[in-house]
Amino acid sequence: MKRIKLIICLLSVLGILNSLQVFAHNPKNQEISDSIAISGKIKAIPFSLSEVVLNNSWIKHREALNTKYMHLLDPERLLHNFRLTAGLPSSAKPLEGWESPGCGLRGHFVGHYLSACAMLITKEGDTLLSKNISYMIDELALCQEKMGGKYLSAFKESEFDSLEKNYGGVWAPYYTFHKIMQGLLDVYTLTGNKKAYQILLNMTDYVEARMTKLQEVEIEKILYSVEANPANEAGGMNEVLHNLYEVSKDPRHLQLAEVFDRKWFYQPLANGLDILSGLHSNTHIVLVNGYARRFENTGEIKFRLATENFWDMLIHHHAYVNGSSSGPRPIATTPTSRIAEHWGHPDHLSATLTGEIAESCVTHNTQKLTSNLFCWTAAPEYADTYMNTFYNAVLPIQNSDNGKVVYHLPLGSPRTKNFLKDNEYKCCNGSGIEAFAHLNSNIYFHDQHSLWVNLFIPSELNWADKGIKLKQITNFPEEPKTRISISAGKPIKFALKLFIPSWANWQTKILVNGLPIRTKVKPASFVSIDRIWEDQDQVELVFGYSFYLKSMPDKANVVALFCGPVMLAFETNKELILKGTQDEILQSITKSPNEFSFTLNNNGTNYKLVPFYRVTNASYGVYATIRNEY
């Protein structure tokens, strides 16, 4: 009881948005977040999806491809397995792949679909998706009623019985439950559908009833997920329950979330111990997103430490140069773990470049975590990592011709992108439709006096509380500049904080109404322009780009090539072996006259270099090996 009282006390002063701004769309929650920012708990608040609009650009095109695919999805087929499980008739054609009637993860994609639809409805008032969601929620409620009023899934309850009896032997029922629960929560918080919320509360009661009857030793066996490709992967159950608690303020929901916050994982992280080697990547990064939510809800410092330490370990010791991670397991015991989905020894990455590294779900969850940490700190390092990952790991997973996404994003040579079929419904199909449904997020942040510009994307921001509108015109990153215009009904004082990435060279400059500012521009920083802004004021940010190489931590001669913010891919069907010093290689690059592509002349071969996000079906290489034995 003392613990509960302490938590309730802390909750009177704590709270925040999650990394996808799920709660920012609720005006009440926005007010809470604003008050937290004033108290100093949170430095920067992301704007809601409805406050930022993407203008026509190649980024907007990527979003449109994703939306087009979502419009083609048939609610009857998405509901089919739920209806069969509930004993209701369905004449729909069953889905395929991981949503087929015999697959242990059936139902997971529906959760992703609910979340992505809720985002697009909030952003654009999408009437088709709004109609689909309303219909599906009504039908899912009927399915839940037929299943007894609490349980809802596309598979039988016996899956949970088997998990509790054998501590495995089934394919991740809690993982799938999490996706459905988070989808329902997003539908409620973003669109206001109260029936979705009631379905979610019923599912939460079901989970609570199952966990309450178990002994702690049994729970530990179920949720101890250190083996290769753990079948007991619980997904982000802790995250969705902490998200739910932010809304419900029901102490039962916090207590249930804590059941899924396993000490065997968070305590070493809080102590600064890197225990990632051998762990299945996406099983555990989602737990850390849950730890972040717990800190935001309760203020327990050990969960902030666990989150920050994990991010530092991941980005600085387990991630590739584009911010992605996961690959072969050091001790491989399953076919998948020999090539994919796990973290290896820290700072030992050069021997991991199989054709199935960098799982897209892991990248998606990394971005959520990075965004959270920026909200806590407003530190440029997090903005820098987010931008790098956005252009060089998130956008490259999608085929710019048709919107298909990859499960893995290989970085060796020669490699190709294996785009998933629309009907495979794998985990990365699901996280992919979410990622490309909110490309307008995390561009801008604010507190009571400041406005951060973290990404340079053609967009318009409506900061209604301040009576300010901001428009960004740019073709970044293929043109190294952006122009920002400010509309204000009356003169207003605020600090415009412009992000200067780590790659920005000495040529970078900032102009206000055509005049350069006197502040010295430093890489990996924010330049704050604190002044009284008037209607039609103009700010121009012009970057200097340079070519540079980034090396593997364990082999300096294994390198990837960048131009400013953009990681470049070699168009090649052969293994990449270069000669010369790094300076000689960089000096041998020339830019194409009419497009953002380049040519590298090395050892008698002319290589074409293009942004990695532009690669579709061509054979390519990213990391190259420099060899100078003679």
Q: Is the pLDDT of residue 462 over 70?
A: yes
Residue 108 has pLDDT above 90, yes or no: yes
CA pair distance 428, 397, nearest whole angstrom: 10
How many Å separate Cα 44 from the centre of its chain? 18
Count Cβ atoms within 10 A of the Cβ of residue 28 and give its class: 0-12 exposed, 13-18 middle, 19 or more buried. Answer: exposed
Q: Which two tokens stand for residue 502?
A: 């780590």
What gap in Å lies between CA 259 and CA 546, rounded to an integer?
A: 49
Residue with tokens 């609610």: 75
Place of tokens 């979330």: 257
Centroid of chain to Cα 60: 18
First vs last Cα of the chain: how many Å apart?
73
Mean pLDDT value across residues 414-424: 96
- Residue whose entry in the numeric block shows the structure tokens 């011709």: 401
Overall size of the chain counted in residues: 630
pLDDT of residue 146: 98
617-626: pLDDT as tens digits: 999 999 999 9
pLDDT of residue 168: 84
Average pLDDT over residues 556-564: 98
**Whether 500 contacts 527, CB under 8 Å:** yes
Q: Which of 626, 549, 555, 557 is nearest to 586 (CA)?
A: 549
As beta bridge partners, residue 327 has 342
pLDDT tens per residue across span 147-194: 999 999 999 999 999 999 999 889 999 999 999 999 999 999 999 999
Q: pLDDT exceeding 90 applies to what percent of the chain? A: 91
Q: Does the pLDDT of residue 517 top 70, yes or no?
A: yes
Report the C-alpha gap between 282 and 366 in whole angstroms. 10
Q: What residues contact 293, with CB distance under 8 A and at least 6 apart?
A: 18, 238, 239, 242, 243, 246
Is residue 551's pLDDT more than 60? yes
Task: Give CA–CA dist 287/289, Å, rounded.
Answer: 5
**What is the pLDDT at residue 41?**
66
75 closest CA partner among 24, 138, 165, 124: 138
The answer to whether 259 and 340 have CB atoms below 8 angstroms apart is no
Residue 470 region by backbone torsions, left for phi larger than 0, else alpha for psi between -120 and 50, else beta: beta
DSSP structure class, residue 509: E
| Spatial CA neighbour of 52 closest among 482, 485, 463 | 463
Query: How high does pLDDT run on average in the chain?
Result: 93
Whether the CB-CB separation of 542 and 479 falls below 8 Å is answered with no
Q: Cβ(433)–Cβ(112) under 8 Å?
A: yes
pLDDT band at 519 (very low <50, low <70, confident <90, very high): confident
- Rounded Cα gap, residues 417 and 410, in angstroms: 7
**Any idea which residue has 């020894």 for tokens?**
345
Check residue 470 and give its pLDDT: 98
What pLDDT score does 16 carry? 37
Structure confidence at residue 34 (pLDDT): 40
Give, to the nearest 10 degrees, the angle between helix 75-86 and helix 108-124. 140
Q: Residue 597: which of 586, 589, 587 has the closest Cα?
A: 589
Task: Please give the CATH topology (third level) of the domain spanning 445-476+481-542.
Answer: Immunoglobulin-like (2.60.40)
Query: Which residues are 472's β-sheet partners?
Result: 459, 484
Helices (H), 322-469: 360-377, 380-389, 427-435
DSSP three-state, residue 450: strand
Stretch 493-510: mean pLDDT, rounded? 96
The pLDDT of residue 460: 98
Q: What pLDDT was estimated at residue 603?
A: 93
Lowest mean pLDDT among 3-17, 53-67, 208-222, 426-440: 3-17
pLDDT higher than 80, residue 93: yes
- 22 pLDDT more than 50: no
Confidence band, pLDDT 50/70/90 cuts, at residue 3: very low
pTM: 0.93
Q: What is the pLDDT of residue 4?
A: 39
Residue that is written with structure tokens 């998200």 in the block: 243
What mean pLDDT comes out for the span 519-538?
96
Place of tokens 């089934």: 170
Spell out the residues 6+ positions from residue 243 whose beta carbon is closer than 8 angstroms to its own.
18, 22, 23, 182, 185, 293
| Cα gap 150→167, rounded to integer Å | 23
Residue type, position 369, single letter: L
Residues 207-234: tens digit of each pLDDT: 999 999 999 999 999 999 999 999 899 9
Alpha carbon 235 to chain centroid, angstroms? 14
Does the pLDDT at position 28 exceed 80?
no
Secondary structure of the chain: what % helix, strand, coil (to 5)?
Answer: 45, 20, 40
Beta bridge partners of 52: 461
Q: Which CATH number fits domain 2-214+222-442: 2.40.100.10, 1.50.10.10, 1.20.120.1200, 1.20.1280.50?
A: 1.50.10.10
| Domain ranges across the chain | 2-214+222-442, 445-476+481-542, 547-626
- DSSP category for residue 67: H
